[in-house]
Chains A and B, each alone.
Chain A
Amino acid sequence: MAQDESASRRTFLKTAGAAAATASVAGCTGGGGQDTSTTTSGSDTTTDSGTGTTESGGENMGDFPVTITQGQMPSTLDPQNHRETPTDNVVLHAYEGLLARDRKGKAQAELATEWERTSDGVVKFQLREGVTFHSGNDLTPEDVAFSINRIVKEDVSIASPQSDQLSGVTGASVVDGERAVEVQSDGLNPIVFSLFATYCDIMEKQWVQDRSKSEVAKDMNGTGPFKLENYQENVQVRLSRNEDYWREPAAVSTLTFRAAKESSTRVNQLLEGETDVIVNVPPQEIGRVKGSGSARIAAVPSTRIIYNAMRYDAEPFSSPKFRQAMNYAIDLNSILENILSGFGDATGQPTLEGFTGYNSNVSAYAANKSRAETLVEESGHAGVSITLHTPVGRYLKDVEIAQAVSNQINQLSNVSCSVKQRDFGALAGQLTDGNLETSPKFYLIGWGNATFDASQTIIPLLTTDGALTSYSNENVDSTIQEAQNTGNADQRSSLLQQTNKTLHDEAPWIFLNRQYSVYGVSQSVAWQARRDERIDAYAMEPKQ
């Protein structure tokens, strides 16, 4: 604790901001849930006999093949060398973490049975007995320590793009004489358990070391409920039920992952019975799925927020009044209803409902054209023209949402707005080059935060040294720093709520919608969608 207190605000925010990789703007991995086991006292211990990620498993051990069609195939089968949800959806059937989350995001045990903070910056995980890898070898503390170090230390194996996901973690080591692993962090790291509940898949040390990077990318050897049977790169991945799984074997006998980029193709496959679960059913196809009789829609609010960032350092967005005016100019309910067919929630702060730090007293801005025009006048920027940059096809209805925002701003008598469609790579390059001045002044983007913790949205996006920031406010910086240095969960939550209220009032974004995950599911499969965008076939059962 003392160590943290001595750190400068800038150093702290830089570390935390850079490490707040629990989410990503660009369709990254999910997770979710409250960090119920985050503690600051060395004596606090959390235990769980372990029911794992989901509440299913195979009572039915018969033949129950399931096919899942996503928008893209996994880019790799190496669970630690990617940052994509479609890849996670495949590899997390074979690999598991120390902790996991249930469908609603609550943290729970997986390969660890107990976890505790032994001192500031040091936590210990007690490992489950009787767990074996698909290779037949037992899970050991060495495997766990190696897996963590493979992510956070470049010299162990790879420069893992997940190193920032384990925010502040500096390394792991085996505890002498115990079936346990100790994880060291730089500073207090109050959300370390939350991070491990979402990230860090455990691999077998010897298995990885015996293989090249390319071989690890084409094979899988985890402890999970499914084993790799066949992998045709970019075509399909087929897994089979792990009969030696440490929990009950899955009900699904064979699990096949395929991809179809076009949403209409996925819907056709579902309706013809060629697949059982499809992702991202667009609003215009929902009626066709619902009316088919052979399939249904499973929709759930995701952990992703869509917003329009307004750069605080550039006119006219440097004026809080102008930024507020832009929020009042938008009829968010109309966008939700007409563009997203109701599959979206209005937001009025950067933190989503259900997250630690969400402020329930803050509402979304209500459309008010005259107030918006007045605020524009008061800001001194009447008559200004602005351009909204938007990626194309990166987020659900991104261009349509941007066009609606632009049209609604254009309805103000004293502002004109146009939309500029951008290649995502080029836009992302500008946002991540470390120079705020190269970013567009006004852009649409999405952010997924898998940890269900406000800090992991605010630090990277809305603090002065955030890796993807568009905003700077000393008050926000200091409150967040204070929150990250406090061990009291209630006090921390209160500080985060206070920050959210400030951010609502200061309006660094046009707060848009919480994106929904919308799946099409065959009537023959019993399954409920998860908030963290993960598709968990272990939770699937044949529908009676």
Chain B
Amino acid sequence: MSMGRFLLKRTLQGIFVIWGVVTAVFLLRFITPGSPITFVAPLDASQELRQQIARELGLNKPFYVQYLDYLFNLLQGDMGYSYISGTEASNLIFARLPATLELAVAASIVAVVLSIPLGVISATRRHEPADYAATSFSLVGISTPNFWLGIMLVLLLSVQFGFFPTSRRGIGLGPALGMLVTQAKISGLTTWLSHITLPAITLGTYFTALITRLTRSGMLDELGKPYVRASRAKGLPETLVRYKHALRNTLIPVVTVLGLQLGTLIGGAVITEAVFAWPGLGTLLINAINARDWPLIQGSLIVIGAGFVIINIFVDALYARLNPQVVH
């Protein structure tokens, strides 16, 4: 199978996954306690007002009509209107997406930049102080709750020393880069960096620790394999053995985990978003769930599902590049 067909197959599978998400969420809304009308109408609203609101939101229609209407509108790019705000769900979701992606990618960069060298050093200097330091770091990183780390970082680096803003996004990466390109001003980029640093570290620490451990164990495993001994016996330089052969094979599971984690971050950075008042998709989704704002819930899950699918296709492609046997 060619790479093109391989990716096409994955894409089609992804579309079915998203359709499955939409269908599952539609089923869920009918078995989840709590009506959206409870949140749109006041608690003491008359039954007449509740019925009026139900009519306006289209909630009085049969399930299958609502479902088919939604699918039909979705195919035209219409995710419906938020029950709570009355505005387009797609606008609310896509306004949040850049902040979410920036944070997820920044956290992943923090994780990759720190964890792979740490894991390699830890594996190649086994039972040395560097190994102990790296494994201790990874243990602490995995054990530290995000919310606690975030609060501590803010109290220390923002409130105590004033190095960083306490919270908020400040400016988007796009406008910051725009300022740099069109006005030759770096202030936008420094503002962006100052705002994203602490959330990225908070979110990235767990993944740094996780991938450090994964890289270390992977490297140790690879370095003990016969092909490494053979390479060494052939007289290949140790650097080449470690970084061209052993590390490359170690990266296959690392890339897979990174891809999955990046997908998780798109919808799951709720705690970090709350601590840093970061306007991301996770908070939007949780608020929508709490308010039973189904158009927003469905739209958010579609976008998160699509994010997972895209990332997984990308990871599959990368996986295939690292190990061409996958395609076949």
User: Does B47 lie within 8 Å of A75, measured CB to CB?
Assistant: no
B46: chain A residues within 8 A (beta carbon)? 18-19, 164, 467
B-facing mask of A508-543, CB < 8 A → 1, else 0?
Answer: 000000000000000000000000000000000000
B179: chain A residues within 8 A (beta carbon)? none
Given contacts A213-B86, A265-B166, A425-B33, contact A159 B49 (CB under 8 A): yes
Q: Which of A19, A233, A235, A432 contacts B43 (CB 8 A)?
A: A432
CA distance A161 to B39 in the complex (A): 10
Interface residue? B13 (CB, 8 A): no
CA distance A23 to B283 in the complex (A): 27
Residues of B at the A interface (CB closer than 8 Å) are 33-35, 38-50, 52-53, 55-56, 81, 84-88, 91-92, 95-96, 151, 154-155, 158-159, 162, 165-169, 274-277, 279, 283-284, 287, 290-292
Interface residue? A158 (CB, 8 A): yes
Interface residue? A180 (CB, 8 A): no
Residue in chain A with minimal CB distance to B43: A25
User: Does B42 lie within 8 Å of A28, measured CB to CB?
Assistant: yes
- Most chain A CB within 10 A, of B43, B92, B166, B279, is at B43
A214: chain B residues within 8 A (beta carbon)? 81, 86-88
Given contacts A21-B44, A75-B84, contact A161 B49 (CB under 8 A): yes
Residue in chain B with minimal CB distance to A272: B166
B-facing mask of A1-31, CB < 8 A → 1, else 0?
Answer: 0000000000000000111110111101000
Q: Nearest chain A CB to B155's CB is how many angstroms away?
A: 8
Q: Nearest chain B CB to A425's CB is how many angstroms away?
A: 3
Q: Which of A72, A83, A234 contacts B96 (CB 8 A)?
A: A234
Q: Nearest chain A CB to B292's CB is how many angstroms away?
A: 6
A–B pairs, 25, beta carbons within 8 Å: A18-B49, A19-B46, A25-B43, A25-B44, A28-B42, A76-B85, A78-B86, A158-B56, A161-B40, A233-B95, A234-B279, A235-B279, A261-B274, A262-B277, A264-B151, A265-B154, A265-B167, A268-B155, A268-B159, A426-B33, A428-B39, A429-B34, A429-B38, A432-B41, A432-B44
CA distance A213 to B83 in the complex (A): 12
A28: chain B residues within 8 A (beta carbon)? 42
Interface residue? A179 (CB, 8 A): no
Residues of A at the B interface (CB closer than 8 Å) are 17-21, 23-26, 28, 72, 75-76, 78, 81, 83, 154, 158-159, 161, 163-165, 213-214, 217-218, 232-235, 258-262, 264-265, 268-269, 271-272, 274, 423-426, 428-429, 431-432, 434, 460-461, 466-468
B38: chain A residues within 8 A (beta carbon)? 425, 428-429, 432
B85: chain A residues within 8 A (beta carbon)? 75-76, 217, 233
A164: chain B residues within 8 A (beta carbon)? 42, 44-46, 49
Q: Nearest chain B CB to A389's CB is how many angstroms away?
A: 13
CA distance A473 to B173 in the complex (A): 62
CA distance A159 to B91 in the complex (A): 23
Q: Which of B44, B96, B279 contacts A20 (CB 8 A)?
A: B44
B290: chain A residues within 8 A (beta carbon)? 423-425
A468: chain B residues within 8 A (beta carbon)? 43-44
Residue in chain A with minimal CB distance to B84: A75
B162: chain A residues within 8 A (beta carbon)? 272
B275: chain A residues within 8 A (beta carbon)? 262, 264-265
B277: chain A residues within 8 A (beta carbon)? 258-262, 265, 269
Interchain residue pairs A-B with the least CB separation, the first 6: A18-B46, A425-B34, A159-B52, A260-B277, A426-B33, A268-B166
CA distance A265 to B166 in the complex (A): 7
A72: chain B residues within 8 A (beta carbon)? 287
User: Does A260 lie within 8 Å of B45, measured CB to CB?
Assistant: no
CA distance A158 to B52 in the complex (A): 9
Q: Which of B48, B92, B158 contacts A233 (CB 8 A)?
A: B92
CA distance A541 to B56 in the complex (A): 43
User: Does A268 lie within 8 Å of B167, measured CB to CB?
Assistant: yes
Q: Nearest chain A CB to B235's CB is how many angstroms away?
A: 59
User: Does B43 lie within 8 Å of A161, measured CB to CB?
Assistant: no
CA distance A225 to B213 in the complex (A): 59
User: Does B34 lie within 8 Å of A18, measured CB to CB?
Assistant: no
User: Does A217 lie within 8 Å of B87, measured CB to CB?
Assistant: yes
Given contacts A425-B292, A429-B35, contact A76 B86 (CB under 8 A): yes
Q: Nearest chain B CB to A159's CB is how many angstroms away?
A: 4
Given contacts A217-B85, A233-B92, contact A265 B274 (CB under 8 A): yes
Known A214-B87, A261-B283, A429-B35; further 8 A-B contacts with Cβ < 8 A:
A24-B43, A26-B39, A81-B86, A213-B81, A235-B279, A429-B38, A467-B46, A468-B43
Q: Which of B42, B50, B91, B158 contacts A83 (CB 8 A)?
A: B42
Given contacts A25-B44, A425-B290, contact A272 B158 (CB under 8 A): yes
Q: Which of B34, B40, B92, B165 contacts A272 (CB 8 A)?
A: B165
CA distance A75 to B291 in the complex (A): 11
Q: Nearest chain A CB to B168's CB is how many angstroms away?
A: 7
Residue in chain A with minimal CB distance to B52: A159
CA distance A21 to B155 in the complex (A): 42
CA distance A103 to B27 in the complex (A): 48
- Most chain B CB within 10 A, of A217, A233, A274, is at A233
User: Does B95 lie within 8 Å of A274, measured CB to CB?
Assistant: no
Residue in chain B with minimal CB distance to A165: B42
CA distance A17 to B49 in the complex (A): 13
CA distance A76 to B92 in the complex (A): 12
B42: chain A residues within 8 A (beta carbon)? 21, 24, 26, 28, 83, 161, 164-165
A426: chain B residues within 8 A (beta carbon)? 33-34
B276: chain A residues within 8 A (beta carbon)? 265
Given contacts A235-B95, A265-B277, contact A258 B53 (CB under 8 A): no
Q: Nearest chain B CB to A287's CB is how many angstroms away?
A: 15
CA distance A466 to B48 in the complex (A): 14
User: Does B166 lie within 8 Å of A269, measured CB to CB?
Assistant: yes
CA distance A260 to B165 in the complex (A): 14
CA distance A159 to B41 in the complex (A): 10
B47: chain A residues within 8 A (beta carbon)? 18, 434
